Chains A and B, each alone.
Chain A
Amino acid sequence: MSVAAGADPEDGGEDPTGFIMHHIKDSHEWHFFNVGHTHVTLSLPVIVYSSDRGLEFFSSSDFQNHETHTFGEEYAHEGYFIDSHDHLGRVDGASFIDFSITKNVAMMFLVIGVVLIVVLSASNHYKKHGAVAPKGAASIVEPIVIFVRDEIAHKAIGPKYKKFVPYLLTLFFFIWVGNLIGLLPGAANLTGNIAVTATLAVLTFIVVNVNGNKEYWKHVFMTPGVPVPLLLVIVPVEIIGLFTKPFALMVRLFVAITAGHIVILAFIALVFIFQSYAIGVVSTLMVTFINMIELLVATIQAYVFTLFTAMYIGSAVAEHGHDDAH
């Protein structure tokens, strides 16, 4: 944790777009708040692997101007620099792989820690006491697990649902806890990062297609009951459909969470732009109201992602007699 004095680059009134983007985007340092001109930030490690220099560890504070506390190409350190868009670059332009613990990665570790603590303490309760009424952490985990298992997995997948319940539970808890913690002030925008949602969508794509049975693949490549000339049109559409479904999952979660954060930040920036008490009061009420809506959206988006994943898995493993009126 570092507390550094410096000029304030993110005054919301001067540059509302920059203020909003700074809070939405990923970064190599975790900026909590400013007290006057002092920045309270956590400088995160920068880990790079390059084929000529091997694995190297730095702290992101090495790449900063210590007075103004900003990044820039000119503050290079040992051949690397972080430019004003928070991208790591190399002075001589050679290629490297960036394994840094950025703000989103650190946030992901935090979310993983919280989920593991809650779920493992619940499962410990059952290990110690057997199948009894839940107490403690188990009493919040059990209704959610039963909900995901019965209402989502069993209803959408059918008889073979047991195999997929762990994956669906992981998705639900990770997305839900990630969304909720991301709404706290000072937290990073985890599920509003398209890389994170893309990874979740890729995992869903893998789970659905690896578990597809013969009927599922026949439906994609040799759709039954379709005359051959139309098949030339239908099959590419079905193949594209294989990819658009996880793509929609990815964009839906990303957009819902990011837009929520942007609206909240825009209302806060409004106070800095107008600099009036009346706007401050109204804006704070709006921000509180929208935060409540965002809590609801966090839960609903986790539920929708899990439900749609379960529905796609269900269509992949479905075994039913095909009728001609399909």
Chain B
Amino acid sequence: MLTSILLSAGLALMGAGIGAGIVAIGAGLGIGRIGGQAMESIARQPEAAGKVQTAMLIIAALIEVVSLFAVVVCLLIALNAGGIAF
């Protein structure tokens, strides 16, 4: 009984950790892609650099927030699952 509680709490914590890692990969891919395309478009047309940079920052903030949605879920799992084990 005790081992089954500890096992499920351990699995939950593991899930939370792996989830947060995958979220970081997703955010990194998304923002990296935006940054890369922004670099390309600035290289193509340096006069538009200001506009491109502004748009890039805004979209990076939006993508980052999506990853933070998932981080909050992982935090909730980690904070609540760890408590059950005790």
Which of A6-14, A34-42, A296-304 has 4 or more CB atoms under 8 Å from chain B?
A296-304
Q: Are B72 and A255 in contact (CB under 8 A)?
A: yes
Collect the chain B residues with CB atoms within 8 Å of residue A300's CB. 57-58, 61
Residues 35-86 of B contacting A (Cβ, < 8 Å): 57-58, 61-62, 64-65, 68-69, 71-72, 75, 79
- B60's closest neighbor in chain A, by CB? A300
Interface residues of A in 295-313 (CB under 8 A from B): 296-297, 300-301, 303-304
Query: Which of A17, A255, A303 is in CB contact (< 8 Å) with B65?
Result: A255
- Chain A residue contacts of B62, Cβ below 8 A: 252, 304
Q: Binding site of B, secondary structure by majority: helix, strand, loop or mixed?
A: helix
Contacts of A259 in B (CB 8 A): 68, 71-72
B-chain residues with CB within 8 Å of residue A296 when the two chains form the complex: 57
Write the chain B residue with the least CB distance to A262: B75
Residues of A within 8 Å of B61, CB to CB, are: 256, 297, 300-301, 304
Q: Does A251 contact B (CB under 8 A)?
A: yes
The reply to whether B58 and A255 contact each other, CB–CB distance below 8 Å, is no
Size of the chain B interface, CB-CB below 8 angstroms: 12
Collect the chain B residues with CB atoms within 8 Å of residue A303's CB.
58
Residues of chain A in range 13-30 having any CB-CB distance to chain B below 8 Å: 17
Q: Are A256 and B68 in contact (CB under 8 A)?
A: yes
CA of A258 to CA of B75 in the docked complex: distance in angstroms? 12
> Are B65 and A252 neighbours in the complex by a CB distance under 8 Å?
yes
Question: How far is it, in angstroms, between the C-alpha of A262 and the C-alpha of B71 when the chains are bound?
Answer: 11
Report the separation of the CA atoms of residues A255 and B75 in the bound assembly, to the nearest whole angstrom.
12
In the assembly, what is the distance between CA of A220 and CA of B44, in Å?
A: 42
Chain A residues near B69 (CB, 8 Å)?
251, 255
State in angstroms the CA–CA spacing of A296 and B61 once bound together.
9
Which of B58, B65, B69, B72 has the largest number of chain A CB atoms within 10 A? Answer: B65
Specify which chain B residues have a CB less than 8 angstroms from the CB of A297 in the assembled complex.
61, 64
The reply to whether B68 and A304 form a contact with Cβ atoms under 8 Å apart is: no
- The one of B57, B58, B64, B79 in contact with A256, judged by C-beta atoms closer than 8 angstroms, is B64
Instruction: Assess whether B58 is in contact with A304, with CB atoms less than 8 Å apart.
Output: yes
Segment 246-262 of A: residues with Cβ below 8 Å from B? 251-252, 255-256, 258-259, 262
**Cα–Cα, bound, A297→B79 (Å):** 26
- List the A residue with the shortest CB-CB distance to B78: A17
List of A residues within 8 angstroms of B57 by Cβ: 296, 300
Whether the Cβ atoms of A255 and B68 lie closer than 8 Å is yes
Q: A259–B62 Cα gap in the complex (Å)?
A: 14
Q: Which of A215-268 contact B (CB under 8 A)?
A: 251-252, 255-256, 258-259, 262
Residues of chain A within 8 A of B68, CB atoms compared? 255-256, 259
Identify 24 residue pairs between A and B in the complex whose beta-carbon atoms are under 8 Å apart, listed by A's number: A251-B69, A252-B65, A255-B65, A255-B68, A255-B69, A255-B71, A255-B72, A256-B61, A256-B64, A256-B65, A256-B68, A259-B68, A259-B71, A259-B72, A296-B57, A297-B61, A300-B57, A300-B58, A300-B61, A301-B61, A301-B65, A303-B58, A304-B58, A304-B62
The 5 closest A-B pairs by CB, nearest first: A300-B61, A255-B68, A259-B68, A252-B65, A256-B65
User: A259-B72, A297-B64 are known contacts; what are 11 more A-B pairs with Cβ within 8 Å?
Assistant: A252-B65, A255-B71, A255-B72, A256-B61, A256-B68, A258-B72, A262-B75, A296-B57, A300-B57, A301-B61, A303-B58
